[in-house]
A and B are shown apart, each in its own frame.
Chain A
């Protein structure tokens, strides 16, 4: 069973090679390869989750080097759960992207860059979740970042280049800090293997240990977009195509959260930085959600709610108790799914009406009722309305906070409540502006240029056939109505259903999360599994 552990990394990378080898022809073969491989990865992830839950952490020592040497891949409950959720989400987003790809006829690009880049992204995310040492974690981050650079700037338009520049520079700088942290850790402890580090760091002087911890948390904080280092996220995500923003929002920040949980439980037990983390969580929640209140563009608004809800996971981690970390894990799984779904729904809205600017939308509940449902359910899920999984996650976190007690925990509890209410306000605002109020102007027949607010009032005569192709770059003035491909709607519906499934499967989900929190806090199962296989 251990032989399955490297597959989530190896399969997508092999498929990338195949995809590049095939070249620009045989589009359907590309689609077939990508879907098959991601479905296989998801299957492997599910098996790993069951196996890790049954038998404890699974380890593979690549090249059969003895444990502290060489590269170790570890799939414990936390890794396997994150892998499973990310596997499901990446598969759904791929289907959505294929639907959009077919509709936009973007398949005349000289080089098929989407499929290889997307597969590399999946491999990078899996590599990060499975990494058993600091260097491999670094490499996983870099694989993921390289693919995300390409996906973010795909098409090479001006806004995307601007967004891509910011994102690239921030990512590169954080990678440099990561490398410095690895150097300090290696100089202090003489190893980069997590299991061995966790044993040896206990003997490292407190100041040096704190330096390593702060450096690592800074790096992971940049990836996770927590408050003082979150400004890059709302600037760079919204310009990318909808499926790409969706998968970035769902996964890339959570990879940072995962790394924080791993570092704080395995490498630096004892939760010394609890208060610092709580302060950061507090600021992330409030600053993020207040940023969302100020926005009128749907994608930017969602990016700010993303920053704010990262604070919830950080709160669970800062509590440091079994319930707190369990709550953070449940919330991470929930948030990966629901944030992706919201961005997918925003993409549908953009495709249908040509804009995500809330002041220009309206009446979508009447003109596109299915789309309204697909938006409403995940929006209420994000806000945490009782039967949905957002409520389960928030309830877990709040109970853990109340059980912990103390002024800080209660202040944070208040912040969680305020942020939830403001999230509901923001979602209600979007609902009312985009869906519920009467449409700002009569919506025309399908495929017609509705308005053109260029400075010269002369509207360019676009024949209906060309407009129907959806010539709608983000933020453009041309507004068209286009029929949404059924594949995209189905993929979004699948994502909504996955979010609802967490409610149905609440007991197994919280069970796995609690067991993995216990395992993380005990530390010995992980260390034993790696060092004494």
Chain B
């Protein structure tokens, strides 16, 4: 199979640029990265056609051997339509995120952060006066045997 080196080179450059952009934190940049990367992959699919030929319109007299393969083009069209929808959706998320927080940065997951903090014991969440503080006693058996919580403390509501 003959493959156009230009197509492949463009595909590689676009994909690499896209991958770099995807690794940023701002959602709009990530989106641009995905679009650029997607275009690179589309060119890659196009390269699967092989040698370029005449349009695949089978009028009488057109030799089948010279016709270009239409299937990769159909695949690309499908991918382009899908990426249109996903782009619109991601833009909507970025816009809504900007409305709510003022930026489109994707923050770390708060729960991950909390688990990390609990593990490191650097800063504990403010103890809940009504519930048993799980970190007070690290014995696994308390979880398994289900010990009862201590009586509610009253001295915490002075503020």
Q: Which residues of A contact B (CB under 8 A)?
A: 135, 138-139, 142, 145-146, 149-150, 153, 156-159, 161-166, 168-169, 172-173, 175-176, 179-180, 182-184, 186-187, 192, 235, 238, 294-297, 300, 358-360, 362, 425, 428-429, 431-433, 436-438, 440-441, 451, 453, 457, 475
Chain A interface helix/strand/loop/mixed: helix
What are 12 A-to-B residue pairs whose CB atoms are below 8 Å? A169-B30, A172-B90, A173-B22, A183-B44, A186-B71, A187-B1, A187-B47, A235-B112, A359-B132, A432-B146, A451-B130, A453-B126
Q: Which of these, B86, B97, B132, B149, contacts A146 with CB under 8 Å?
A: B86
| In contact, A176 and B41 (Cβ under 8 angstroms) | yes
| In contact, A176 and B86 (Cβ under 8 angstroms) | no
| In contact, A168 and B131 (Cβ under 8 angstroms) | no
Chain A minimum-CB-distance residue to B152: A441
Min CB–CB distance A441 → chain B (angstroms) = 4
Chain A residues near B71 (CB-CB < 8 A): 186, 192
Q: Which of these, B37, B109, B144, contacts A176 with CB under 8 Å?
A: B37
Residues in B98-157 with C-beta less than 8 Å from chain A: 100-101, 106-107, 109-112, 115, 119, 126, 128, 130-134, 143-149, 152, 157
Interface string of B68-101 (1 = CB under 8 A from A): 0001100100110010011001100100110011
Supposing A156-B96, A165-B106 touch, asked if A359 and B146 sit within 8 A by C-beta, the answer is no
Q: Which of these, B22, B89, B134, B144, contacts A150 with CB under 8 Å?
A: B89
- CB of B58 within 8 Å of the partner chain: no
Chain B, interface size: which category? 35 or more
Min CB–CB distance B157 → chain A (angstroms) = 6
Chain B residues near A165 (CB-CB < 8 A): 27, 93, 97, 106
Chain A minimum-CB-distance residue to B126: A453
Min CB–CB distance B81 → chain A (angstroms) = 9
Supposing A169-B30, A179-B41, A429-B143 touch, asked if A135 and B130 sit within 8 A by C-beta, the answer is no
Q: Which of these, B27, B34, B50, B143, contacts A433 with CB under 8 Å?
A: B143
Q: Which residues of B contact A (CB under 8 A)?
A: 1, 3, 22, 27, 30, 34, 37-38, 41-42, 44-45, 47-48, 50, 71-72, 75, 78-79, 82, 85-86, 89-90, 93, 96-97, 100-101, 106-107, 109-112, 115, 119, 126, 128, 130-134, 143-149, 152, 157, 159
Min CB–CB distance A431 → chain B (angstroms) = 8
| In contact, A296 and B149 (Cβ under 8 angstroms) | no
| In contact, B143 and A168 (Cβ under 8 angstroms) | no
A169 to B29 alpha-carbon distance, docked (Å): 11
Chain B residues near A157 (CB-CB < 8 A): 100
Chain A residues near B27 (CB-CB < 8 A): 165, 169
Which of A138, A169, A451 has the largest count of B CB atoms less than 10 A from its CB?
A169
Min CB–CB distance A434 → chain B (angstroms) = 10
A146 to B81 alpha-carbon distance, docked (Å): 12
Chain A residues near B97 (CB-CB < 8 A): 158, 161-162, 165
Q: Which of these, A166, A300, A358, A360, contacts B111 with CB under 8 Å?
A: A300
